Amino acid sequence: DSQAVAIGQAPIAPERQQETNSKAVVMNFNSTEFVPMDPVFSSHGKKGSWGWHLLSGEAAAQEILANQYVCNKPFEHCCLGQGRQQVVKMDPHKALWKLINTDDQSLQLGTFGDVLKHYPAGQSQDSMCSFAFFGDSLSSDSAMGAVCEALRMGYTLKSCDTLRMGAMGVYGDDLNYTCDENRYNDAPHFLLEKEDSISCPRVFIAFEQDIINNMAFMPPAIVELGGLAIFNWGVHCNTDDGCLEQVLTPILNNAADETYQNWRFMFREQEPQHFAFPGGVYPKSIATPEHHICSNFHGRINNWRNKEVANIIEARNLTKQIATLPISAALEPLVGLHYEGPLIKYGDCTHYVYDPHRLDVTWDALLTVLQIP
C-alpha cells in the first residue's frame, strides 16, 4: 500500500551533486508510478533505485506503531503532519513519506540515532554531544526534529528555552513550554539526557535564527566543549545580489577561527521550495494565490542558492573547514509534504509538515560526513 515517486539512485553524497541537462528531464511529482529522476546521485554504498513512498494502510499502521509516531507531549511540532504554523495540521496518513530502496528494502537511510552512535569522540567532551543549528525557520525545524527523535529514543528533557524557535502567535504553544531548568538563559536550547546511552548520554541542541550572531550566542561553557555547527540561510535571499554572502560571512569567519577549533562546521543545503512558479522559488514581487498551490508545481527546482553558497565556500578556501550536507535534490519530489489549506489562507510551499523520514535525509548526510576520514 504505497504511492511512489522515484529518484533514480541514492540521494545523498559527500561531494557536490553532478550537473545534468534539466531540459532533458521530465518529472511528474503527482504520479503514482515509479518515475526515474535526474540528477544521478553518487551512491557511497547505497546502490540501486530509491523512491519516496507514501505509506498507507497496514504499512503505515505498522510504521507508526513501531516508531511511536504518535502525537505525544511535550511538543506539538513532534506530531506527524504538524506544520510550522500551529494551525497547520495535515492528515497523518498523508504525511508519512519514506525513502525506500526498491531493490533491497533492508537498506535504510541513517537516522538521528545513528548520528548519536557515530558522534566523533573528539567532540564529545564531558559526555556532551552538541548540535548548534543556525539559520532561518527551516533550520529551526531541523533542530526541533532532532529533539523529537531524541525524545522518541527515550531521552529526558532536562533544560530548555524555546522562546525563539519561531514567531510568537504563529509557531504556537511550543514557545510557551518551560522545563524544570533553564541552564543557559537566553540561548534557545534543549538539553536531553539518557544515562544508559553509551555514546551520547547528554545531548545539547541549540538554534539561533539571527545567524549574524553566529557562535557569539552560544553559552561559553558549550563553546569550550565543542560540537557540530550546522548552518543554512536561503529563503530570505530572493535574488543573487550578494545577500547570501553578506548574511553568512560571520559564520564563515567562525569556521576559519581557531577559537572554534573544537567545532565542525557544516552547510545544510536549502530545501526545495515548490511554488507554482518556474523553479519553485517564491515570486515575491508578483505572487498570487495561484502561485501558492504547491501541487501545481511543474518542472525542475531552481537550486541557485545552494550553488551560490558552494561557490562562496570555495572562493574563501573553506572547503576543508566546512562540509556540505547535500539534501536538496533528494527532497525535490516531496511536494506532498507542503500544506495548501484550508486552515491557512495561502498554501505554504516553503515549509514541510513534520515527517521524521524527511529529516532522515539530513541525518543520513550528516552521518556520511562524520564517517569521512
Region of poorest pLDDT, from 68-72, 101-105, 353-357: 68-72
- Residue 249 CB partners (closer than 8 Å, separation 6+): none
Cis preceding-peptide flag for 74 (omega within 30 of 0): yes
pLDDT at residue number 31? 39
Other beta carbons less than 10 A from residue 126's beta carbon: 11
What is the pLDDT confidence band of residue 293, given thresholds at 50, 70 and 90? very high
Give residue-wise pLDDT tens across range 305-350: 999 999 999 999 999 999 999 999 889 989 999 999 899 999 999 9
pLDDT recorded at residue 214 = 81
Distance CA 233, CA 268 (A): 9
pLDDT above 50: residue 294: yes
Structural contact between residues 240 and 304, judged by C-beta atoms closer than 8 angstroms = yes
**pLDDT grade for 196, boundaries at 50, 70 and 90:** very high
pLDDT greater than 50 at residue 173: yes
pTM: 0.89
